[in-house]
């Protein structure tokens, strides 16, 4: 009995230590947002050429991963794979936390966050941004209901219909996020029909990696071995699934760039991103292709790749590669000027045709980390207060 009391006391102390650490980072992020709002975006590295900077990298990562982190819940509820059902609640909680953290960063990066009231009350049905306001709100509502079905035994029979609704909605939501860029013809890097399916693939891969890292962190907090899942076989299946999703992202990214290379007007942009764009080619080849794709696939598919350490290392590499890919895609895509007249040089006092420079500042990074801290705190409190994570006995039985 004393052993259980000591374990509970250690968990309680760890909870408060983690909560304080997360609150400090969140406060720093809110302070950075306050500074940016009062001094203007001159406090950042952004300009009228690069208007989406480091905060958007964090925000897009969290929003896209929020959709994909529901993989585990969908596999259990929608596709009837019983061993996954024990982890569906954490999957849903992580979705809400990441979506809230990502939207917090987006709103605070606007400079006038209170103007979200205008976007929420005046809809421009022809704008993809207006569509996403509805998609994000709908995602919150559906996942809250889904979690209720998962946590209330009397409502268990409705968990599959709720899971199907969440599965369909998250595909639409991630497609909508990809459409923000796909419909943006004013940037040469975007305006491609491949972006919505690419964003769906990225969400599935990044969400799976985030879930595995979060599950391992919760296990460590509760005094268990990392990734204390039901069986080595389930862990191996999760690792294989992550490897397949990473391979799909790499394939679609290759198709996206090959498609651009096929068009003469995109040749100079592809050369900039892939060869002579300074930091952007390095981030693409070393950050995304090598660290974020090839290394995880090697770790997951080599002999013994189903071990917890290999899966955690691969998941961390996938997350690092995701950030590298987003920096190249979002910031690099804006840095390259729109080529209005292919084959001709355009220059003026307004820097037409010039490569834009960008260097992130501390307020930008702190705001992005603040959003991550918000997601962390939501997850931490949710696990502490509700019956989100089962004990190892329930997990072994595949219970909900």
pLDDT in tens, 116-148: 777 667 777 777 777 888 889 899 999 999 998
Confidence at residue 79, expressed as pLDDT on a 0 to 100 scale: 87
Confidence at residue 391, expressed as pLDDT on a 0 to 100 scale: 56
Percent of the chain with pLDDT strictly greater than 70: 90
Confidence at residue 393, expressed as pLDDT on a 0 to 100 scale: 43
* Tokens found for residue 309: 């350490």
Contact by Cβ (8 Å): 47, 354: no
Confidence at residue 111, expressed as pLDDT on a 0 to 100 scale: 66
Q: Has residue 2 got a pLDDT over 70?
A: no
> Cβ atoms within 10 A of the Cβ of 168, count?
12
Q: Output the CATH code of domain 18-386.
A: 1.20.1630.10
For the ranges 49-53, 173-177, 260-264, 292-296, the one whose mean pLDDT is highest: 292-296
Q: What is the mean pLDDT of the chain?
A: 87
CA distance 131 to 146: 22
Task: Give the C-alpha distances (Å, rounded to integers) separating 307 from 76, 78, 155, 250.
Answer: 22, 27, 36, 23
For the ranges 75-89, 198-212, 261-275, the one whose mean pLDDT is highest: 198-212
Q: Which of 337, 203, 355, 352 is nearest to 279 (CA)?
A: 355
CA distance 353 to 276: 16
Q: Has residue 66 got a pLDDT over 50?
A: yes
Contact by Cβ (8 Å): 103, 67: no
SS3 246: helix
Q: Has residue 399 got a pLDDT over 90?
A: no
Q: Has residue 78 got a pLDDT over 90?
A: no
CA distance 92 to 86: 12
pTM: 0.91
Q: Has residue 400 got a pLDDT over 50?
A: no
Q: Which of 332, 324, 322 is nearest to 98 (CA)?
A: 322
Residue ranges per structural domain of the chain: 18-386
Residues 212-271: tens digit of each pLDDT: 999 999 888 877 777 765 578 888 899 999 999 999 999 999 999 999 888 877 888 889
**How many H helices and E strands in the chain?**
16, 0
Query: Which is more confident, 267 or 197?
Result: 197
SS3 335: helix
């Amino acid at each position: 009995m004393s052993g259980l009391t000591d374990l509970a006391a250690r968990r309680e102390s760890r909870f408060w230590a983690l909560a304080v650490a997360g609150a400090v980072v969140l406060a720093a992020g809110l302070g950075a947002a306050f500074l940016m709002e009062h001094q203007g975006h001159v406090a950042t590295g952004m300009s009228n050429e690069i208007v989406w900077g480091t905060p958007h990298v964090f925000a897009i990562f969290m929003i896209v991963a929020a959709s994909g982190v529901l993989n585990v819940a969908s596999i259990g509820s929608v596709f009837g794979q019983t061993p996954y059902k024990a982890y569906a609640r954490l999957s849903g909680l992580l979705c809400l936390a990441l979506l809230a953290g990502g939207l917090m960063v987006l709103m605070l990066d606007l400079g006038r966050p209170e103007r979200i009231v205008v976007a929420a009350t005046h809809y421009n049905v022809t704008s993809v941004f207006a569509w996403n306001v509805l998609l994000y709100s709908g995602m919150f509502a559906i996942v809250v209901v889904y979690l209720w079905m998962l946590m209330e035994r009397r409502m268990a029979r409705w968990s599959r219909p709720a899971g199907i609704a969440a599965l369909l909605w998250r595909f639409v939501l991630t497609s909508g996020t990809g459409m923000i860029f796909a419909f943006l013809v004013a940037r040469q890097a975007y305006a491609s029909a491949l972006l919505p399916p690419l964003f769906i693939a990225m969400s599935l891969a990044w969400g799976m990696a985030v879930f595995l890292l979060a599950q391992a962190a919760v296990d460590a907090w509760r005094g268990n071995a990392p990734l204390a899942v039901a069986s080595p076989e389930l862990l191996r299946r999760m690792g294989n699934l992550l490897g397949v999703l990473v391979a799909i992202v790499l394939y679609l990214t290759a198709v996206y760039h090959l498609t651009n290379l096929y068009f003469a007007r995109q040749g100079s942009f592809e050369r900039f991103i892939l060869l002579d764009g300074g930091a952007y080619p390095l981030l693409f080849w070393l950050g995304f292709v090598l660290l974020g794709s090839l290394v995880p696939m090697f770790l997951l598919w080599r002999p013994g790749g189903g071990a917890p350490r290999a899966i955690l290392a691969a998941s961390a590499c996938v997350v690092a590669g995701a950030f590298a890919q987003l920096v190249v895609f979002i910031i690099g895509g804006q840095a390259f000027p729109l080529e209005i007249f292919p084959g001709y040089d355009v220059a003026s006092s307004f820097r037409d045709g010039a490569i834009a420079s960008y260097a992130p500042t501390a307020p930008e990074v702190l705001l992005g980390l603040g959003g991550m801290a918000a997601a962390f705190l939501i997850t931490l409190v949710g696990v502490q207060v509700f019956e989100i994570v089962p004990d190892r006995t329930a997990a072994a039985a595949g219970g909900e």
